Chains A and B, each alone.
Chain A
Amino acid sequence: MNIQDLQNLQLIQIASERIRNVERPRSVSSVSPFINNNSTILSSCGVLCLNPTQESINQEGNTQREKAMDVNMLQRTYSDLLTSLFREGILNQQFTELQQLQDENNPGFVYEVVSLFFEDAGRLINELISNFNQQAVDYKKIDAYVHQLKGSSASIGAEKIRSVCQTFREYYDKNDIQGCYNCIQPLNQEFVTFKSKLEALFTLEQQIVAAGGSIPMMRH
């Protein structure tokens, strides 16, 4: 894990603690305004009106404002993480295709598909590693596993994993055993990285939704 990951995780922790400590507003009015001392106006539908007691406004305002700021922060962290995943080449355009298939009727589609991949890829990589540790290595079998892994990773947009699989198969075609062998550790590492980043992404999604926010859409 790098510094950025750690910072992201810390942000998530801070954010979730703040959300837990925030008091739920007792009544929800669709037109209530929240004005703080710095004249920042926050309203759920952009309408300004006045409440009787300034004090109760401030208290409610601070609570709601804090909550809104937490959601904003979570959303920013989410967007930053997602952008970095594309920029670093961990995800490719296919992942965006998956996101576009997700809608209010299928809210968990990306999560379901990626979870299937975690299972599938995890199993395949374990098979690869154990097969490589055999006395007599069955390279044809290993190539078949890598073929499957390449297909799955391509299907969900896990670009780096797909790329290592492709490199492996090129070595296999040239009967370059050492080349094949050298791909296994990177493959495992890429999978571990992919899994932890996507899990962080999904955790952020859950927290954003729990805090009443919406998941930011990426623009390409």
Chain B
Amino acid sequence: MTVETQPQFHVLAVDDSVLDRKLIERLLKTSSYQVTTVDSGTKALEFLGIQDENSENAASVSPHHQEVEVNLIITDYCMPGITGYDLLKKVKESSSLRDIPVVIMSSENIPSRISRCMEEGADEFFLKPVQLSDVSRLKPHILKKSVKCQDENQNQNKSVTTISSPTNNVSGNKRKATDDGICSERIRTRYSAGPVTIV
């Protein structure tokens, strides 16, 4: 059994598709990340310790600190309930969580969507299907945030944001470029076994 000389970084992956969850989990674990997957933005917020006021399980606000440190959040954009964009906003509004880098994944290449996410503070925007080459770009964002930055002006240290494009996306998506943030109505039967998978 090899001894880990470096601490493993922990990524929270959010996607309502069980297939995509399996894929992102494998991609991340292959890249030596510890992974937690959840199937909704609501569950992601619960895991992070923020209570979502729109949550179906409207219990009293939990004051506990998240027990496991999360080094990066990677989330699908289009999800039933709260979208990846909503999740991004909530994370950036939280004083305890705003420094966690957030990456958005989407199957649709809509420029206005991408710029909205970047403006809201997303560190990367990946086009699906996500590949190993995309995952290899996560480390700098995690390391950047974990280093105590002496410089007050964060903008100087912000890396140039790039948008990845999968090589097999042959024909460009000619759908309407307008995107007011509303995903097409998602009707998905939840048949995944457990809500949270910590591996």
Question: Chain A residues in contact with chain B, CB under 8 A?
Answer: 92-94, 97-98, 100-101, 106, 109, 112-113, 116-117, 120, 123, 140-141, 143-145, 147-148, 150-152, 154-157, 159, 166, 169-170, 173
> With a CB–CB cut-off of 8 A, which chain B residues contact A147?
78, 107, 184
Are A93 and B167 neighbours in the complex by a CB distance under 8 Å? Answer: yes
Residue of B nearest to A114 (CB): B19
Are A116 and B18 neighbours in the complex by a CB distance under 8 Å? Answer: yes
Chain B at the A interface: mostly helix, strand, loop or mixed? loop
* B174 interfacial contact with A, CB 8 Å: yes
> With a CB–CB cut-off of 8 A, which chain A residues contact B49?
none
Are A97 and B128 neighbours in the complex by a CB distance under 8 Å? Answer: no
Chain B proximity of A171: nearest CB distance (Å): 12
Question: Chain B residues in contact with chain A, CB under 8 A?
Answer: 17-20, 22-23, 26-27, 30, 78, 107, 128-129, 131-132, 166-168, 171, 173-176, 184-189
Are B168 and A151 neighbours in the complex by a CB distance under 8 Å? Answer: no
Are B168 and A173 neighbours in the complex by a CB distance under 8 Å? Answer: no
Q: What are 23 A-B contacts defined by CB distance under 8 Å?
A: A93-B167, A93-B168, A94-B166, A97-B131, A98-B23, A116-B18, A120-B17, A120-B19, A144-B185, A145-B187, A147-B184, A150-B107, A151-B20, A151-B128, A154-B107, A154-B129, A155-B17, A155-B128, A157-B129, A157-B168, A170-B175, A173-B175, A173-B176
Chain A at the B interface: mostly helix, strand, loop or mixed? helix
> With a CB–CB cut-off of 8 A, which chain A residues contact B174?
170
Are B176 and A141 neighbours in the complex by a CB distance under 8 Å? Answer: no
Are A97 and B132 neighbours in the complex by a CB distance under 8 Å? Answer: yes
Residue of A nearest to B186 (CB): A144
Are B129 and A155 neighbours in the complex by a CB distance under 8 Å? Answer: yes
Are B184 and A143 neighbours in the complex by a CB distance under 8 Å? Answer: yes
Are B131 and A120 neighbours in the complex by a CB distance under 8 Å? Answer: no
Residues A112 and B22 in contact in the complex (CB < 8 Å), given A93-B168, A152-B17, A159-B168: yes
